[in-house]
Amino acid sequence: MTTVTAKDGTKIFYKDWGTGKPVVFSHGWPLTADAWDNQMLFLSAQGYRVIAHDRRGHGRSGQPSKGNDMDTYADDMAAMIEALDLKGVTLVGHSTGGGEVARYIGRHGTGRVAKAVLISSVPPHMLKTADNPEAAPMEVFDGLRAGMSSDRSTFFKGLAMPFFGFNRPNAKVSQGAIDSFWMQGMLGGIKGQYECIKAFSETDFTNDLKKMTIPTLIIQGDDDQIVPIGIASLKSAKIVPKATLKIYPGAPHGLCVTLAEKINADLLEFLKS
């Protein structure tokens, strides 16, 4: 397997296909780089170099006891980008990965970054607090932790349904998508995934978003049951200096799978712009 070594010695697995302008993908929780297979296959055929890593504690990357936090995730991404000496990168993040993209720019700047894409992403701040009253209460994230710790396998199978909107009336359910979600989730380590819940829910990305001074495409479906659009993309689009917001009517959280062709077309258009 192809890996880069993070500053604490953790091995970070990544896939690197094609040549041309680089596009780096960051996946959502509790998945892996494989969540981007459709986009990577498409864009590599369009002449782009596509790279995606498994976040520490997830997939084929190392499972350290420490470092399962957003700062370290961003530093791991930086280690990969620097090891590959990537320049003029477009960063694409989905869900938790969108937080990782924002925190990377917040900590490491835009020197190597040309553009960014946030898809169904967790910024600016998922957790309800005194100054963020419309966000999700702690009970929501405690429920995720309870599901993880009691029966992770069954929990992931159940979570796939709202993730892809398969629980909606007349939804076209893909058993393959459910199986892939479960398989990717079970490939990771329970400790890293458990601690990642705190990272994606309690991190405030507001200041990171303000530093995203490069052209940024923000995409989300208005039927996202995992990361409600009202506390996520609608707010982020008002903070990011050069944001373009695209709302997909009726689309779920996992729209990179359910609406892959539309996502691919919008990504290609943005990359060419």
100, amino acid identity? E
Catalytic site positions? 95, 224, 253
**Positive or negative CA dihedral for 99, 243, 119, 15?**
negative
Q: What is the dihedral of CA 41, 44, 50, 54, to 10 degrees?
A: 20
Q: List the one residue out of 256, 123, 272, 270 whose CA is nearest residue 199.
A: 123
Token representation of residue 259? 């609406």
If you count them, how many residues does the chain have? 273
Give how far Cα 93 sits from Cα of 77, 130, 138, 149, Å: 12, 28, 24, 26
CA distances from 87 to 80, 83, 84, 111, 243 (A): 12, 11, 9, 8, 21
d(CA 127, CA 96): 13
Distance CA 18, CA 31 (A): 23
d(CA 14, CA 144): 27
What phi, psi does 16 have (nearest 5°)? Answer: -140, 105
**Beta strands 11-17 and 49-53, pairing class:** antiparallel
